[in-house]
């Protein structure tokens, strides 16, 4: 195989981003999209690919080797399983699914059918995160002590007028599973498996939604480091997402996906010096738009993984970790107790 040929399922706000990215990759192609209304058909014509109203028919197209799923979160699992059974590699937007069981079923189906499963967590491919991984590996922070993930955003009523958002059935929850999951995924990626969690979730402002618009939690990881999480869509007009990592020999703060601050016991680090960006890091985060560059890097990895017959960097198993933690926070809040994971 020289090129991975994709079918896109779900052509809403993030689906269009995926189609643009795939179109620009030299070793991938977008062959078809499946959508539900005329405007999606027009979009298929605009980008020069086939159009299906039924994704099941699209899965029968033998030219397609992979699908990318950009449906409301509650629909990810069934479609991914059908795609795997049709022998297609699966890329899926976050969260992997709305329940752990549905996410695990996706992982199992992809394994059974010998296809790759990748889940979009584009922030793992942000430049500051890639370098933070390297800094930790090189021991620049020493032993990690604690970290925090804060997503202090605002979403307005128009955003929640899209009927699947903030519902348990179609979204799996609210601010934690939909918005904050990106930085929660980074926390788990850096600190490892959580051991126990306590937390509180509330619907404070957006009374029209079922799930939380504020979630806070304390985590103990298996390696006995500590994590804190704050995630919200009530912080008008939208402030920041921040990941802070504190170790015995250094501290790093990444805010709005840019490096805000670092301090290492052994002095300046040229790789971090070149990307320090306090101006972008402290700007208000008021937009729902996605910066596509990290999505591009994740797609490059996913496509190359298929061509090289290896696993992608963010697998289904990796994606289940943040889902399990968030579901444990919901349980801890509902049952008013610390939950062991």
Ligand X SMILES: NC(=O)c1ccc[n+]([C@@H]2O[C@H](COP(=O)([O-])OP(=O)(O)OC[C@H]3O[C@@H](n4cnc5c(N)ncnc54)[C@H](O)[C@@H]3O)[C@@H](O)[C@H]2O)c1
Name the residues that contact ligand X, by CB under 6 A. 9-15, 34-36, 55, 70-73, 75, 93-94, 120, 122, 162, 178, 290
* Residue 327: CB minimum distance to ligand X, A: 16
* Residue 255: CB minimum distance to ligand X, A: 17
* Strand residue runs (E) in 120-161: 144-152
Q: Which is nearer to ligand X, 171 or 230 (CB)?
A: 171
Angle of helix 181-191 versus helix 127-137 axis, rounded to 10: 20
SS3 content of the chain, % helix, strand, coil (to 5): 40, 25, 35
DSSP assignment string, 259-318 = EEEEEETT---HHHHTTB-HHHHHS-----PPPHHHHHHHHHHHHHHHHHTS--SSBHHH
Q: Which is nearer to ligand X, 72 or 231 (CB)?
A: 72
Query: At residue 259, what are phi and psi to the nearest 5 degrees?
Result: -80, 115
Q: Which is nearer to ligand X, 99 or 196 (CB)?
A: 99
Q: Which is nearer to ligand X, 10 or 247 (CB)?
A: 10
* Residue 92: CB minimum distance to ligand X, A: 8
* Residue 210: CB minimum distance to ligand X, A: 16
H-run or E-run covering 175: helix 175-175
Distance CA 254, CA 281 (A): 7
* Residue 233: CB minimum distance to ligand X, A: 13
Q: Which is nearer to ligand X, 17 or 341 (CB)?
A: 17
Q: Which is nearer to ligand X, 21 or 339 (CB)?
A: 21
* Residue 246: CB minimum distance to ligand X, A: 26
Q: Which is nearer to ligand X, 284 or 290 (CB)?
A: 290
Q: Which is nearer to ligand X, 92 or 109 (CB)?
A: 92
* Residue 222: CB minimum distance to ligand X, A: 27
Tell me the two tokens of residue 319.
Answer: 């994606």
H-run or E-run covering 4: strand 4-9
Residue nearest to ligand X (CB): 12
How many other CB atoms are found less than 10 A from the CB of residue 38? 10
Could you tell me the sign of the dihedral formed by the alpha carbons of 101, 102, 103, 105, in that order?
positive
Distance CA 275, CA 258 (A): 8
- Nearest Cα to 249, choosing from 148, 149, 144? 144
* Residue 66: CB minimum distance to ligand X, A: 16
* Residue 184: CB minimum distance to ligand X, A: 13
Distance CA 152, CA 172 (A): 20
Q: Could you tell me if 12 and 159 are in contact, meaning their C-beta atoms sit under 8 angstroms apart?
A: no
Distance CA 263, CA 12 (A): 41
Return contacts of 40-49, CB within 8 angstroms, 24+ apart.
Answer: 40/11, 43/11, 43/16, 43/19, 47/19, 47/23, 49/19
In this structure, the chain runs to a length of: 341
Q: Which is nearer to ligand X, 70 or 339 (CB)?
A: 70
């Amino acid at each position: 195989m020289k090129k991975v040929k994709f079918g896109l399922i779900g052509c809403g706000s993030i689906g269009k981003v995926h189609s643009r990215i795939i179109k620009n990759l030299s070793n991938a192609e977008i062959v078809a999209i499946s959508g539900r209304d005329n405007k999606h058909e027009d979009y298929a014509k605009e980008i020069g690919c086939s159009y299906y109203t039924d994704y099941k028919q699209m899965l029968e197209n033998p030219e397609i080797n992979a699908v990318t799923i950009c449906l409301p979160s509650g629909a990810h699992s069934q479609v991914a399983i059908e795609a795997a059974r049709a022998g297609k590699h699966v890329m899926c937007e976050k969260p992997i699914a709305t329940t752990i069981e549905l996410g695990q079923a996706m992982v199992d189906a992809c394994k059974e059918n010998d296809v790759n499963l990748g889940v979009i967590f584009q922030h793992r491919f942000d430049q500051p995160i890639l370098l933070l991984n390297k800094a930790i590996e090189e021991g620049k922070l020493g032993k990690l002590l604690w970290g925090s993930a804060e997503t202090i955003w605002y979403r307005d009523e128009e955003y929640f007028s899209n009927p699947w958002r903030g519902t348990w059935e179609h979204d799996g929850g609210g601010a934690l599973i939909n918005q904050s999951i990106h930085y929660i995924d980074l926390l788990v990626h850096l600190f490892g498996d959580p051991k126990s969690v306590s937390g509180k979730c509330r619907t404070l402002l957006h009374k029209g939604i079922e799930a939380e618009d504020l979630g806070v939690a304390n985590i103990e990881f298996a390696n006995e480091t500590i994590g804190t999480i704050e995630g919200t869509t009530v912080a008008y007009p939208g402030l920041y997402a921040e990941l802070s990592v504190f170790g015995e020999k250094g501290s790093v703060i990444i805010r709005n996906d840019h490096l805000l601050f670092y301090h290492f016991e052994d002095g300046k680090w040229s790789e971090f010096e070149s990307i320090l960006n306090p101006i972008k890091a402290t700007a208000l985060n008021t937009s729902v738009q996605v910066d596509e560059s990290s999505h591009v890097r994740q797609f490059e990895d996913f496509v190359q993984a298929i061509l090289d017959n290896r696993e992608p960097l963010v697998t289904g198993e990796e994606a289940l970790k943040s889902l399990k933690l968030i579901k444990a926070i919901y349980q801890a809040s509902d049952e008013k107790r610390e939950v062991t994971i």
